[in-house]
Amino acid sequence: MTQKIGVIGIGHAKFGKRKDATIRELAHEAVKPALEDAGITTTDIDAAVIGVAGDEFAAQGSSGALIHDYIGMKNKPMFRVEAACATGSAGIRAAWSLIKAGLAETVLVVGAETMTQVGSPKATELMAKAGDTRWEYPFGITFPGFYALMATAHMHEYGTTREQLSMVSVKNHKYGVLNPYAHLQREVSLEEAVKSLTICHPLNLYDCCLISDGAAAVILANEEKAKKLCDTPVWITGLGSASDTMMISERQTLTSLTATRLAAEKAYRMARVSPDDIDVAVVHDCFTIAEIMAYEDLGFCKKGEGGKFIEEGQSYIGGERPVNMDGGLKAKGHPLGATGVSMTVEITRQLRGEANKRQVSGAEIGLSHNVGETGQYCFVHIYAR
């Protein structure tokens, strides 16, 4: 029960408008390299945890079972998880728990989603239903609307500027260009981002993440198996999870996500580290204001100084705390079920030193932060090489 649990295999499908692949094919595109990376086959896997946030996107009920069959895991235990945008990280936590409980030695985690085939209006509607369908959704509020409220509050209370929001986008597009799996591999200038089309004031086009298709896969193993199968396991040393009210109107504040703060405290405590020990992080930047609030809620800077943090370049490579070197949700894309697993893939690459031109030199401790809905779910994981 005291054994460490490590990542021994990672795989990633290309994110984007994937008209060339179904959800099961995207999952296979991620699982195959993960198995090859670990040097094992599906016969060596004891169980699978599969994350798909919404069956309506793929027009397929029980997507988890469909994927499970297609990747060759027939007759093995399979668990489907769902935590909205944090589904992938919920899958990582569930797999970790299975191993920690002694119910499995190796577990495959797959996150997948196909969102683009329903079109942007329908996808926006489906995601809006993750808000309260009695008191929020019927009145027309969408996720850009929710985060626009947070941005407006943060700008009012702390003086965060329009330019600072756009600086997050500029950074994440810069690194997204260097990520071969990213949906949007295109840099954007600050002027272009600031002057882009208003989506929901004060959020512009380049403040909003992409609607994407994609998949990612991770293989976890207990310490004995990990050391036997892998020369460079990346250990998951801390896990934190928390929640908040379903209705955003019942929150105590709109300038912070309580679930992030609570989940981060738990993860830091379990890993016996502090925010100052984090060498590289991936955070949930579904909107640029979300990344700025994450800087603050994760303890990378003081409350209200997130705008200053990005303006000073502190979240770039070479800065105090490099964040979203994979392009983040903003440029890499956000296929809901895949996002949290993709985050684990990125941190594993960084800690192995395999991130090429977006590598954070000497990174030894990493953090992933994945939010579901508007903070109703939050998972923070700490990793060490």
d(CA 184, CA 194): 18
- Using CA atoms, how far residue 372 sits from 244, 284, 380, in Å, is 10, 9, 12
Number of H helices, E strands in the chain: 14, 11
Residues 47, 97: contact at Cβ < 8 Å? no
β-strands 106-113, 78-81: how paired? unpaired
Catalytic residue selected from 28, 68, 334, 381: 334
- Using CA atoms, how far residue 132 sits from 135, 189, 307, in Å, is 6, 36, 30
Q: Is 334 a catalytic residue?
A: yes
Terminal-residue alpha carbon distance, the chain: 20
- Using CA atoms, how far residue 20 sits from 16, 17, 213, 282, 352, in Å, is 10, 9, 11, 28, 31
**For residue 267, what is the enclosing H or E element?**
helix 258-271
Give the chain's length: 385
β-strands 5-12, 78-81: how paired? unpaired
Catalytic residue selected from 12, 28, 68, 85: 85
d(CA 83, CA 242): 12
Total Cβ atoms within 10 A of residue 157? 13
Residues 212, 365: contact at Cβ < 8 Å? no
Q: Is 230 a catalytic residue?
A: no
Instruction: Report, as residue numbers or ranges, the catalytic residues.
Output: 85, 334
